[in-house]
Amino acid sequence: MASLFVSAENKIQAVYGQQVILERQGRVHVLRVHLQGNWEDTIIRQVKAIGEMVREFSSFSRLPPLIEKQALAKLCQQAIALQEQAYPQIAFEFFPPQSPVFFLCDSKQMVQVFTNILKNSIEAIEERFKINPSPPGSVQLKLLWEPPHVIFEFLDKGVGFPEKGKERLEEPYITTKPKGTGLGLAIVKKKC
């Protein structure tokens, strides 16, 4: 199964790479004249969407986890750092507990869990920007230690979840987003 995902991802990258090469060689302009329209943006968007689906499917069917003692604050910070680079227009804040919290988990899977939830927040903010660009976008992640429980609280200034169908959002392939795969929260539920 994993080799299928790697093969699909390689093919997607090849298509994307060919588009970049055509663009650099100036052939995109010639093709655009004949095809009329903004087709290369559509190709890039679709290739990226397929690539994201392949990555999410791959993550959903991942090999057994490597369980080790992890500092949860460090994993939260890793996930936030990735999003800060990709979305500099959004302010990210992290509130760790006063004392370090350690947890037995697979670090890659936990970062993926945090990333999936952060991506939901980012997409909710982007949707709200279409309606009202003010206030600026922000996401807060609070890590709380209430023995014996660890609580992760995500707060954003996005559109929120729709009331209708909210109870099914953790099921695989259920999405309310036009570009969603319906795997993000299903992966979170599976890993937690």
pLDDT tens-digit map of 95-114: 999 999 999 998 988 898 89
Candidates 20, 28, 8; CA nearest to 44 is: 20
- The CATH number given to whatever domain includes residue 152 is 3.30.565.10
- β-pairing, 138-146 with 91-95? parallel
User: Can you give the residue range of the structural domain that contains 29?
Assistant: 2-60
Do 19 and 73 sit in the same domain of this protein?
no
Do 113 and 138 sit in the same domain of this protein?
yes
1: CB partners within 8 A, 6+ apart: 61
Q: CA-to-CA distance for 111 and 72, rounded, in angstroms? A: 9
Counting every residue written for the chain, the total comes to 192
- Distances in Å between the alpha carbon of 153 and those of 3, 67, 93, 174? 36, 23, 12, 22
What are the structure tokens assigned to 53, written together?
Answer: 């689906």
Q: What is the pLDDT of residue 74?
A: 96
Do 51 and 116 sit in the same domain of this protein?
no
**What is the total count of domains within the chain?**
2
Do 87 and 168 sit in the same domain of this protein?
yes
Q: Burial of 152 by CB count in 10 Å (0-12 exposed, 13-18 middle, 19+ buried)? A: middle
Q: What is the pLDDT of residue 2?
A: 47
Last residue of a domain, one of 11, 35, 60: 60
Do 40 and 74 sit in the same domain of this protein?
no
Q: CA-to-CA distance for 182 and 57, rounded, in angstroms? A: 10
- Distances in Å between the alpha carbon of 158 and those of 102, 179, 189? 30, 17, 21
Buried b (16+ CB within 10 A) or exposed e, 113-122: bbbbbbbbbb
Tokens 């949707």 sit on residue: 127
Do 110 and 186 sit in the same domain of this protein?
yes
| Residue 46: φ, ψ to 5° | -70, -40
Q: What is the mean pLDDT of each run of 10 residues along the chain (192 residues)?
A: 52 60 58 53 70 69 78 95 91 95 90 90 88 86 93 88 68 65 62 62
| Residue 100: φ, ψ to 5° | -60, 145
Do 76 and 47 sit in the same domain of this protein?
no
Do 170 and 108 sit in the same domain of this protein?
yes
Q: CA-to-CA distance for 119 and 42, rounded, in angstroms? A: 22
